[in-house]
């Protein structure tokens, strides 16, 4: 079955980005959306993302070949009950939540497991809402699929093909394994970031000395504490069991570190730091997919208007394409560092030569 009509329940950052991406890569598709906030629906109609907007779940969704549930989990489950009497038996149901157990259990209870495949695009931002949705947010991002045990193979094949068309990287996992993995690599870091920010806030002087001096390392590790508090409150409650287990492991790790500092065990500290450094340096460097480290370069740039455009113009003049970029301000004695993600090692070599001829400091990773 070719997917021609897709429905969206919820148009926040992820739902909106999915819809915008599908509109960009498959402009012939019909997209139908429902969202509790009418402002997002109006915006999605005005920018051409949606063909049709609904202020309630109506029979219009019966035409869908696939429906993405992109609201909070409890809202998704409520909407599932409404959809169950509307959708066709061959409509692929999916969600985009970062916790999978509650939705899989609800689908089983409602008798919809034969058409449900959980989904989780591993992309996002500390920003939220449709106004921050992007049509390339999912590019080169891992997109985890968690099929129910009774979903037919053709549905998984269709879903996987769509994910690949969006330039994302499909990975199939059992939903229980998914929740353990995301508790460790996504949910725990957010809990740590929120706790660390509040620790500094409550430890600061009345004059706000810590806040005034907070720079590189503190800002890097706490950036995600600017994410939606409502969303992360829900995630912590929904993935309670897996999150509590990894949080206990983390507390034990901190206790061991504290004891090593207390006893001046330099060897333990050095070994821990080195092990972490080596492992950290093996992670994908663009924060999304598996671009090799050899295809990443860093360039010192001045903190002034036009600095970024000059570097990109130099590369453009040499026909060097940039797959992705990020600007870092974590070097205390420099204005900024521009990290460029290039197509291949040949592009890296040419970029280094072009930039060094213009007296830029360039670093390879």
Query: The domain that contains 163 carries what CATH number?
Result: 3.40.50.720
**224 membership: H or E segment, kind and range:** none
pLDDT in tens, 31-43: 999 998 889 999 9
Q: Are 308 and 359 members of one domain?
A: yes
Which of residues 126, 153, 173 is at a domain's end?
173
Q: Are 64 and 164 members of one domain?
A: yes
- Over residues 308-320, the mean pLDDT reads 88
Domain assignment present for residue 97? The answer is yes
Q: Is 172 helix (H, G, I), strand (E, B) or coil?
A: strand
Q: Are 77 and 159 members of one domain?
A: yes
pLDDT in tens, 178-214: 999 999 988 999 999 999 999 999 999 999 999 888 8
Q: Which runs of E-coded beta strand occur in the chain?
A: 5-9, 30-34, 52-54, 66-69, 92-95, 117-121, 142-147, 169-172, 296-301, 322-328, 336-342, 362-364
CA distance to 46, 56, 135, 229, 334, per residue, from 38 (Å): 12, 10, 21, 22, 45
Q: What percent of the chain has pLDDT over 70?
A: 93
CATH number of domain containing 213:
1.10.3660.10
What tokens appear for 182 in the block? 């995301």
147: β partners: 117
Q: Look at residue 328 in the predicted model and tell me its pLDDT.
A: 66
Q: Look at residue 289 in the predicted model and tell me its pLDDT.
A: 46
Query: 153: closest CA among 118, 120, 114?
Result: 114
> In this predicted model, which residue has the larger pLDDT, 247 or 305?
247
- Over residues 122-127, the mean pLDDT reads 72
Q: Are 73 and 101 members of one domain?
A: yes
Q: Are 166 and 184 members of one domain?
A: no
Q: Are 156 and 203 members of one domain?
A: no
Domain assignment present for residue 287? The answer is no
What tokens appear for 122 in the block? 């591993």
Domain assignment present for residue 356? The answer is yes
Q: What percent of the chain has pLDDT over 90?
A: 55
pLDDT in tens, 270-305: 999 999 988 888 776 544 444 444 588 888 887 777
Q: Look at residue 334 in the predicted model and tell me its pLDDT.
A: 47
Q: Look at residue 291 in the predicted model and tell me its pLDDT.
A: 42
Q: Are 200 and 154 members of one domain?
A: no
**12 membership: H or E segment, kind and range:** none
Domain assignment present for residue 229? The answer is yes
pLDDT in tens, 222-240: 888 888 888 889 889 999 9
Confidence tier at 130 by pLDDT (50, 70, 90): confident
**178 membership: H or E segment, kind and range:** helix 175-182
Q: Is 342 helix (H, G, I), strand (E, B) or coil?
A: strand
Q: Look at residue 221 in the predicted model and tell me its pLDDT.
A: 85
CATH number of domain containing 345:
3.30.2130.10
Domain that holds residue 268: 179-280
Domain assignment present for residue 209? The answer is yes
Which of residues 111, 143, 173 is at a domain's end?
173
Q: Are 305 and 326 members of one domain?
A: yes
Q: Are 210 and 309 members of one domain?
A: no
Domain assignment present for residue 288? The answer is no
Domain assignment present for residue 264? The answer is yes
What tokens appear for 337 in the block? 């560092």
What tokens appear for 103 in the block? 């939705």
pLDDT in tens, 66-87: 999 998 888 898 899 899 889 9
Q: Look at residue 287 in the predicted model and tell me its pLDDT.
A: 46
Confidence tier at 103 by pLDDT (50, 70, 90): very high
Residue 217: burial class (beta carbons within 10 Å; 0-12, 13-18, 19+) = exposed
Q: Are 267 and 336 members of one domain?
A: no
Q: Are 139 and 220 members of one domain?
A: no
Q: What is the dihedral of CA 199, 201, 202, 206, to 10 degrees?
A: 150
Rg (CA), the chain: 23
Domain assignment present for residue 157? The answer is yes
Q: Look at residue 245 in the predicted model and tell me its pLDDT.
A: 95
Q: How many domains does the chain have?
A: 3
Which of residues 118, 146, 173 is at a domain's end?
173
Q: What angle do CA 307, 309, 313 make, to 5 degrees?
A: 125
Q: Are 247 and 317 members of one domain?
A: no
């Amino acid at each position: 079955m070719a997917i021609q009509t897709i429905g969206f329940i919820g148009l926040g950052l992820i739902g909106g980005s999915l819809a915008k991406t599908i509109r960009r890569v498959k402009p012939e598709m019909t997209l139908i959306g429902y969202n509790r906030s009418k402002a997002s629906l109006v915006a999605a109609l005005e920018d051409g993302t949606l063909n049709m907007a609904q202020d309630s779940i109506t029979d219009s969704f019966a035409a869908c070949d696939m429906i993405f549930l992109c609201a909070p989990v409890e809202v998704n489950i409520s909407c599932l009950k409404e959809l169950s009497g509307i959708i066709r038996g061959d409509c692929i149901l999916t969600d985009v939540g970062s916790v999978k157990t509650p939705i899989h259990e609800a689908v089983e209870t409602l008798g919809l497991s034969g058409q449900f495949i959980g989904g989780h695009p591993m992309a996002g931002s500390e920003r939220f809402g449709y106004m921050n949705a992007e049509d390339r947010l999912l590019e080169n991002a891992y997109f985890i699929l968690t099929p129910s045990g009774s979903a037919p193979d053709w549905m998984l094949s269709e879903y996987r093909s769509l994910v690949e068309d969006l330039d994302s990287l499909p990975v199939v996992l059992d939903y229980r394994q998914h929740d353990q993995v995301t508790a460790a690599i996504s949910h725990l870091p957010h809990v740590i970031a929120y706790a660390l920010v509040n620790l500094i806030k409550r430890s600061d002087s009345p004059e706000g000395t810590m806040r005034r001096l907070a720079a590189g390392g503190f800002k890097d590790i706490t950036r995600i504490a600017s994410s939606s508090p409502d969303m992360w409150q829900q995630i912590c409650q929904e993935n309670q069991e897996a999150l509590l287990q990894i949080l206990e492991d983390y507390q034990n790790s901190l206790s061991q570190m504290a004891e090593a500092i207390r006893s001046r065990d330099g060897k333990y500290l050095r070994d821990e730091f080195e092990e972490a450094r080596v492992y950290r340096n093996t992670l994908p460097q663009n924060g999304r997919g598996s671009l090799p480290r050899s295809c990443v370069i860093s360039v010192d740039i001045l903190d002034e208007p036009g600095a970024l455009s000059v570097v990109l113009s130099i590369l453009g003049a040499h026909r060097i394409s940039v797959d992705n970029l990020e600007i870092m301000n974590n070097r205390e004695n420099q204005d900024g560092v521009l990290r460029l993600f290039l197509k291949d090692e040949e592009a890296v070599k040419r970029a280094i030569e072009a930039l060094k001829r213009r007296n830029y400091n360039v670093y390879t990773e």
